[in-house]
Amino acid sequence: MSKPANTREATIRRSLLGQMRGLGSARSGTGHWWMQRLTSIALVPLAIWFVIGAIAHAGAGRAEIVHWISGPVTATLMLALIACMFEHMQLGLQVVIEDYVHGEACRVATLLVMKAGAALLAILAAISVLKMAIAG
């Protein structure tokens, strides 16, 4: 007696792992969503702090800016702002790219360029703050 032709056994010739791949993670699937919220909550006080600081130093010369940023508290908050801001930014831009850039190759390439750019900008910003904080 032969198997009916329309059962799963008869039509699917991929391993269970193969069938599951690409459907999303079972453990860390909420990671993106959660990091987006976490960084947004951290950015609430950090953004207020930065805007107030920027207003207080509007039109200031380089010496004054360096003096402000090189303070230990300012440098710490600046680094926290940079970390949260760029993480939040790259998570957000990722969703925008995934929504609007079609075609697998083009989408992956755009994502990689964006993520690399975000990482380089974050490193440049952090190095700048550290240089001011340490070298004065």
Partner 1 sequence: MADVREALMSGRNSDGARVNRPLSPHLQVYRLPMTPILSILHRVAGVGLAAGTLLFVWWLAAAADSDGAFALAAGVMNSPIGWLLIAGWTLALWYHFCNGIRHLWWDAGRGFELREAHASGMLAIGAAAVLTALTLIAGVVAR
When the beta carbons of 31 and 92 are compared against partner 1, the nearer one is 92
When the beta carbons of 4 and 136 are compared against partner 1, the nearer one is 136
Distances 97 to 12, 88, 115, 118, 120 between C-alpha atoms, Å: 33, 14, 11, 14, 19
104 exposure class (CB count in 10 Å sphere: 0-12, 13-18, 19+): exposed
When the beta carbons of 56 and 113 are compared against partner 1, the nearer one is 56
Minimum distance, C-beta of residue 85 to partner 1, in the bound complex (Å): 7
Q: Within a 10 A sphere around the Cβ of 78, how many other Cβ atoms?
A: 25
Minimum distance, C-beta of residue 101 to partner 1, in the bound complex (Å): 13
Residue 122 tokens read as: 């974050």
When the beta carbons of 20 and 33 are compared against partner 1, the nearer one is 33
Q: What are phi and psi of 103, to 5 degrees?
A: 90, 125
Minimum distance, C-beta of residue 13 to partner 1, in the bound complex (Å): 41
Smallest CA-to-CA distance from 128 within 74, 91, 48, 84 is with: 74
Which residues contact partner 1 by CB under 8 A?
A: 37, 40-41, 44, 47, 51, 54-56, 58-59, 61-62, 65-66, 69, 85-86, 89, 92-93, 96, 121, 124-125, 127-129, 131-132
Minimum distance, C-beta of residue 23 to partner 1, in the bound complex (Å): 24
